[in-house]
Structure 1
């Protein structure tokens, strides 16, 4: 990696600011992380409830087509014709049982099989349609959450998730039987690491709604789940009654079953964030666009067993509390951008809250510590091959 070297500080609580800004590092990150041996959540199967439903996405530049075939099976393909790699589907989502390439009219089923192509008698001798299905990356499902990896060396999904799997399952209503409510999509003027360096320390300090709503912090814990630095938050709910700034106090009502763990967050390396806060179920699918831009798809869900009142309640909370313009998170976009700007200065970002020993990497943290991000940074450093300074 001659063109993308970086010396890492000796102390575990220091991160070089250059990691957020250097474009030469970005190209190596795409190769080693996003196209390397990592699992990336890309959608939930409830986004494709019916046979023939599909959606398209791009993950670190690679176009994907996710579909549910006539038999109800979810499949993931590269969104490229197996003939000359023309982008097969341009719609964001829809319903089709067949996909036709407009360039040479090759036709594919929802199972990815090549079912028709003009003039095959004039093709290479021995041509067989069975040899030209749509290409597929490795993919797997976890309670309906669809993961993709572009490497044959990636460990099995259950090993990748580790302890985070149990918190993620509970976050998705315990069984993953979700119902899509809708999306919010945004591009942040920030490197992907600036977006994903969000921590537990800032929330009650940055977000004005916590004070406006007289929100009370509950007890909880934060822990890393694997060597990759996946971080999980499990927090009790303690919502103040009678906030004076809301005419409709049901907006922050909690109708769940267990207020002792009413809030859960799972951050999976490199960019996935999932949140269950109050009655909001929010999965955030993020991808780097370039070294200075990150795109995030906020997807909101209900449970399939919700009655009409609960469905409406979740919908109102989803669109008002979380997301790029939510009451308790609207300030994040500005901070992501300002981190990116400020990181163009010399030196290191130095973590403080929750750091008991700069020479030691821990795995258990208090709910509002910023030190929970450090195992993720250490994994990033090791994957990128950066040597730690000795003195």
Structure 2
């Protein structure tokens, strides 16, 4: 039994429902996962295209400030004054080259340097503004995707991403030169793991749009990319060519170059999901609020080389297909909540589709298997220190 009193089922395809609902487990997740040795995407550099642009984000309750300075360098800071810890910036995003704390008017530039503070002659002898910059977490980037880790012991970002790098690079336009289109932001009444546990099995069964549009799934695969249980998903598109229930079928047109890999998903442990389906480029920045709530920011992008028609096309698809009210995913919010309610009952969640042997893990899966989630669950179990029940 683990230190927090949960024994994990002996079969690899079973997950205890209690892991989704217990407050003590959630508190331990904060320590071991969100403040542990993981990398967490918090922004893409294209969200801050101009000098002075900034964005704020909370990672498991920790306030962050991501800012581009006058020279174009993007940095991540803790969103807290280096004086007494007051939250420095409250806006979601904006443009400014200096950040002033309203409490005592300490002033910082976009490099994080303290450039002004009233009455400093009354401070301790030897006070030097250069000793009080904004504190920074460890951060790194991959084709413009900015990652933060709250642990000094985390492996390099390259090691963390492992074999997911090729698929993730393609999702980021091949070169990371993206252009922000906009956001949809939502809080799901669900544990964060119910959100990330979404699978390929449910898509044509739950989502009514698949049936309405006679949307046929293409051939595809899932594979585990690292020990962390990151999952990469690549599939062909079977684009609808005949009549549909839509008044304007151009909404679901595919203008990309290769339908053989027209759909890609990279799901990075613990909460990040990136998707390219049809011509939608979607990054989902998610963070737990408490054991019953997860907040997800759906960010949508075009590529900088897109012409005006392609940008408009991506915008229409982004705002209508995916996201919390998207044509093909609007049922997810209800299901996440119903899963969370159901998880307050005894027993285990049992995975079936794609499971060939419940006594071992696999690393390759078919497009619509739910077993692709199991390597992530095994990594979660090991990080949390849950021991398996004996046979």
Please classify the TM superposition score into its range, dividing by the shorter chain length: over 0.9
1:65-92 CA distance string (max 9 Å, x none): 0000000000000000000000000111
Q: Distance in 1 between matches of 2:355 and 2:75?
A: 44
Contact 1:237/1:259 (8 A) holds in 2 = yes
Q: Distance in 2 between matches of 1:207 and 1:239?
A: 17
Question: Would the alpha carbon gap of residues 13 and 74 (structure 1) be closer, same or farther in structure 2, given more than 3 Å must change?
Answer: same
> Does 2:102 match 1:93?
no
Q: Distance in 2 between matches of 1:95 and 1:231?
A: 36
> Does 2:351 match 1:351?
yes
Report the counterpart of residue 130 of structure 2 in structure 1: 130
Q: CA deviation at 1:2?
A: 7.5
Q: Distance in 2 between matches of 1:97 and 1:336?
A: 40
Q: Distance in 2 between matches of 1:3 and 1:62?
A: 26
1:164-203 CA distance string (max 9 Å, x none): 1110100111111000000000000000001110011110
Report the counterpart of residue 338 of structure 1 in structure 2: 338
RMSD between aligned alpha carbons?
0.9
Question: Would the alpha carbon gap of residues 2 and 378 (structure 1) be closer, same or farther in structure 2, given more than 3 Å must change?
Answer: closer
Runs of 4+ residues over 4 Å off in structure 1: none
Please, what TM-score do these two structures have when normalized by structure 2? 0.99
1:325-352 CA distance string (max 9 Å, x none): 0011001111100110001111111100
Q: Distance in 2 between matches of 1:31 and 1:365?
A: 31
Q: How many residues end up aligned between the 2 structures?
A: 391
Report the counterpart of residue 320 of structure 1 in structure 2: 320
Please, what TM-score do these two structures have when normalized by structure 1? 0.99
Q: CA deviation at 1:126?
A: 1.2
Q: CA deviation at 1:244?
A: 2.7
Q: Distance in 2 between matches of 1:42 and 1:255?
A: 29
Contact 2:140/2:157 (8 A) holds in 1 = yes
Report the counterpart of residue 266 of structure 2 in structure 1: 266
Q: CA deviation at 1:159?
A: 0.5
Q: Distance in 2 between matches of 1:32 and 1:218?
A: 38
Report the counterpart of residue 53 of structure 2 in structure 1: 53
Report the counterpart of residue 173 of structure 1 in structure 2: 173
Q: Distance in 1 between matches of 2:193 and 2:96?
A: 36
1:203-223 CA distance string (max 9 Å, x none): 011101001011111011100
Find the residue that maps to 2:341 and give its secondary structure: helix
Report the counterpart of residue 207 of structure 1 in structure 2: 207
Q: Distance in 1 between matches of 2:240 and 2:92?
A: 41
Q: Distance in 2 between matches of 1:26 and 1:306?
A: 43
Q: CA deviation at 1:5?
A: 2.4
Q: CA deviation at 1:3?
A: 6.4
Report the counterpart of residue 65 of structure 2 in structure 1: 65
> Does 2:140 match 1:140?
yes
| Structure 1: segments with no counterpart, 5+ residues | none
Q: Distance in 1 between matches of 2:57 and 2:261?
A: 33
Report the counterpart of residue 380 of structure 1 in structure 2: 380
Report the counterpart of residue 310 of structure 2 in structure 1: 310
Q: Distance in 1 between matches of 2:124 and 2:273?
A: 47
Q: CA deviation at 1:247?
A: 1.0
| Structure 2: segments with no counterpart, 5+ residues | none
Report the counterpart of residue 15 of structure 2 in structure 1: 15
Q: CA deviation at 1:243?
A: 3.4
Q: Distance in 2 between matches of 1:2 and 1:210?
A: 42
Report the counterpart of residue 292 of structure 2 in structure 1: 292
Contact 1:3/1:24 (8 A) holds in 2 = no
